[in-house]
């Protein structure tokens, strides 16, 4: 058998990636794409019936997410009869091998094992047997104790315009509704030198914006201290124009971190701080580790460090066991007083394997539905209130899409402000993708900002265009 250089064992194989779940999954998908292209494989954006390999990053945060993972594996098999179907990540951690085969999966890659994918693929293609090998599984079922870092690296983003850079994995907390620690394992921080090297390489590749991701990034530790020390080093990378962070647990907002963010010239003033409930008794049953007073004080520290117009977004779980009408009313009241921008509202869904799933005091599904409607309505008003504060200001956006507008020589552009608000605007000229342009929002609808002269036609077609 002719020996092939290990680096080119996948030469010419086409692959596509489907990402379910969180930004950590997205950063891992981007890194997997890097690793496979490094081995000669070819990345394809579309997965419709054509690539040799289809990779699915799965999520297990709710039972619905698990069901979706199964649906995506089945669909990938149906649409790609002869492809190698690879299922990775959180839902795979507890997917029985037999069921995985029935769904159509060929390779299972668990958490902390994703760097094993290229070799698993090579083993698959190297096997001569007509029927192809049996299911290949690379999973560490005793993930709880495993604090090893899974070496993945990213050279440039392929799935998104900005680079999602994974800096941390796992979680040592035990919020009563959360399955994540059992599928992502113990907390581990990536060496700071690797992160700095990676972000420098990404900037050299032409990408100017990086988003730090992880399961509990607030627990990050390195020779430079906590997350603040890392942010300080990254902020010094020449050519990096924007630095953002994924979700940050409220109990991880330290003085060290706020100092570093306030001194950084590239950190974008948006923090996603999941509140989950505005009622102290509910927070206690959730085992969140803070009450509304502590959260209120933390918000005060954030605003004095980063300015009163910092965009603070959050998550709210509605209908947690034992949530009474008055407890829910307290949650709405706390949202109103806290000046949030974007609020993600989630109906409580019992997750097997969590303590909350065994709790008494279940709230009726119809009541949960009604409360979600009320919370979403308030969320819409609060986002509009926050975003309309930017009307008339001057905003820099990184242009993610640009297409000809109705007026010849004028483009309709869209992108995100530093405060993480979506903007649509007109700009004279064309080909603005990947550039930073300055716009002056003149109006706001539903938390989206619109520049001068954007007409209803541009708007509606633009939305259709962006999907
Ligand atoms: S901090 Fe809580 S909610 Fe967040 S991943 Fe850990 S256990 Fe889950």
Q: Name the closest-CA residue to atom 8, ligand 1.
A: 178
Could you report the per-residue pLDDT of 68-77, keeping only the tens digit for each? 999 999 999 9
Segment 260-283 shows an average pLDDT of: 98
Q: Name the closest-CA residue to atom 1, ligand 1.
A: 173
pLDDT band at 159 (very low <50, low <70, confident <90, very high): confident
3-state secondary structure 180-191: HHHHHCCCEECC
Residue of 178, 186, 288 best suited for mutating to test ligand 1, as the one with most atoms within 8 Å of CB: 178
Residue 222's pLDDT is: 96
Higher local confidence (pLDDT), 129 or 422: 422
Ligand 1 center to 410 CA (angstroms): 46
Ligand 1 center to 171 CA (angstroms): 6
Please enumerate in sequence order all residues whose Cβ is within 8 A of that of 457, keeping only pairs 6 or more positions apart, or say none. Answer: 406
pLDDT band at 467 (very low <50, low <70, confident <90, very high): very low
CATH architecture of 395-466: Beta Barrel (2.40)
Could you report the per-residue pLDDT of 72-106, keeping only the tens digit for each? 999 999 999 999 999 999 999 999 999 999 999 99
Higher local confidence (pLDDT), 132 or 417: 417
Cβ atoms 261, 305 nearer than 8 A? yes
**Partners of 213 in beta bridges:** 166
6-140 to CATH, choices 3.20.20.70, 3.30.420.40, 1.20.120.450, 3.40.50.280: 3.40.50.280
Cβ atoms 153, 34 nearer than 8 A? yes
Segment 167-180 shows an average pLDDT of: 96
Could you report the per-residue pLDDT of 394-446, keeping only the tens digit for each? 999 988 888 888 888 888 899 999 999 999 998 888 777 878 889 999 999 99
pLDDT band at 138 (very low <50, low <70, confident <90, very high): confident
Could you report the per-residue pLDDT of 334-365, keeping only the tens digit for each? 999 999 999 999 999 999 999 999 999 999 99
Whole-number Cα distances in Å, 348 to 192, 326, 344, 372: 36, 17, 13, 10
Ligand 1 center to 456 CA (angstroms): 42
Domain boundaries, the chain: 6-140, 163-388, 395-466
Q: Is the pLDDT of residue 457 over 90?
A: no
Residue 454's pLDDT is: 72
Segment 21-42 shows an average pLDDT of: 96
pLDDT band at 145 (very low <50, low <70, confident <90, very high): low
Of the candidates 52, 77, 149, 150, the one whose C-alpha atom is nearest the C-alpha of residue 109 is 150
Same fold, 6-140 and 163-388: no
163-388 to CATH, choices 3.30.70.980, 3.40.50.720, 3.80.30.20, 3.40.50.970: 3.80.30.20
Instruction: Tell me what the pLDDT averaged over the chain comes to.
Output: 91
Please enumerate in sequence order all residues whose Cβ is within 8 A of that of 433, keeping only pairs 6 or more positions apart, or say none. Answer: 161, 399, 400, 401, 402
Segment 369-376 shows an average pLDDT of: 98
Segment 197-222 shows an average pLDDT of: 96
Q: Name the closest-CA residue to atom 2, ligand 1.
A: 175
Residue 466's pLDDT is: 42
Q: pTM of the full predicted structure?
A: 0.92
């Amino acid at each position: 058998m002719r020996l092939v250089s290990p680096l080119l064992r996948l030469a010419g194989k086409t692959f596509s990636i489907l990402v379910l779940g969180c930004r950590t999954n997205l950063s891992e998908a981007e890194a997997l794409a890097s690793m496979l292209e490094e081995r000669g494989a070819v990345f394809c954006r579309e997965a419709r019936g054509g690539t040799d390999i289809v990779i699915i990053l799965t999520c297990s945060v709710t039972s619905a997410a698990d069901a979706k993972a199964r649906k995506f594996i089945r669909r990938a098999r149906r649409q790609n009869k002869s492809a190698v179907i690879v299922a990775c990540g959180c839902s795979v951690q507890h997917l029985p091998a037999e069921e995985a085969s029935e769904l159509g999966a060929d390779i299972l890659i668990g958490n902390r094992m994703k760097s094993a994918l290229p070799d698993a693929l090579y083993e698959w293609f190297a096997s001569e047997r007509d029927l192809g090998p049996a299911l290949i599984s690379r999973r560490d079922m005793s993930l709880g104790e495993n604090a090893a870092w899974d070496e993945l690296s990213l050279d440039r983003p392929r799935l998104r315009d900005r680079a999602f850079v994974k800096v941390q994995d796992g979680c040592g907390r035990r919020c009563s509704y959360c399955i994540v620690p059992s599928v992502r394992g113990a907390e581990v921080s990536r060496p700071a030198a690797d992160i700095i090297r990676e972000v420098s390489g990404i900037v050299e590749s032409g990408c100017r914006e990086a988003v730090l991701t992880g399961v509990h990034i607030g627990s990050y530790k390195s020779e430079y201290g906590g997350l603040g020390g890392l942010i300080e080093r990254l902020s010094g990378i020449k050519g990096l124009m924007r630095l953002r962070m994924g979700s940050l647990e409220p109990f991880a907002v330290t003085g060290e971190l706020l100092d570093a963010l306030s001194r950084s010239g590239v950190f974008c003033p948006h923090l996603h701080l999941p509140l989950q409930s505005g009622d102290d008794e509910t927070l206690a049953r959730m085992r969140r580790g803070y009450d509304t007073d502590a959260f209120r004080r933390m918000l005060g520290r954030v605003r004095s460090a980063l300015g009163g117009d910092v965009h603070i977004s959050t998550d709210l779980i509605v209908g947690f066991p034992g949530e009474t009408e008055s407890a829910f009313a307290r949650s709405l009241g706390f949202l109103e007083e806290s000046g949030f921008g974007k609020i993600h509202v989630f109906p409580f869904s019992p997750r097997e394997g969590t303590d909350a799933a065994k709790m008494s005091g279940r709230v009726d599904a119809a009541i949960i539905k009604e409360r979600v409607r009320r919370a979403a309505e308030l969320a819409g008003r609060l986002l509009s209130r926050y975003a309309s504060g930017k009307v008339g200001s001057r905003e820099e956006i990184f242009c993610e899409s640009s297409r000809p507008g109705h007026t010849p020589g004028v483009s309709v552009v869209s992108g995100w402000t530093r405060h993480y608000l979506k903007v649509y605007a007109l700009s004279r000229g064309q080909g603005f993708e990947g550039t930073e342009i300055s716009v002056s929002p003149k109006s706001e609808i539903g938390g989206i900002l619109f520049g001068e002269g954007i007409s209803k036609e541009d708007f509606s077609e633009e939305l259709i265009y962006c999907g």
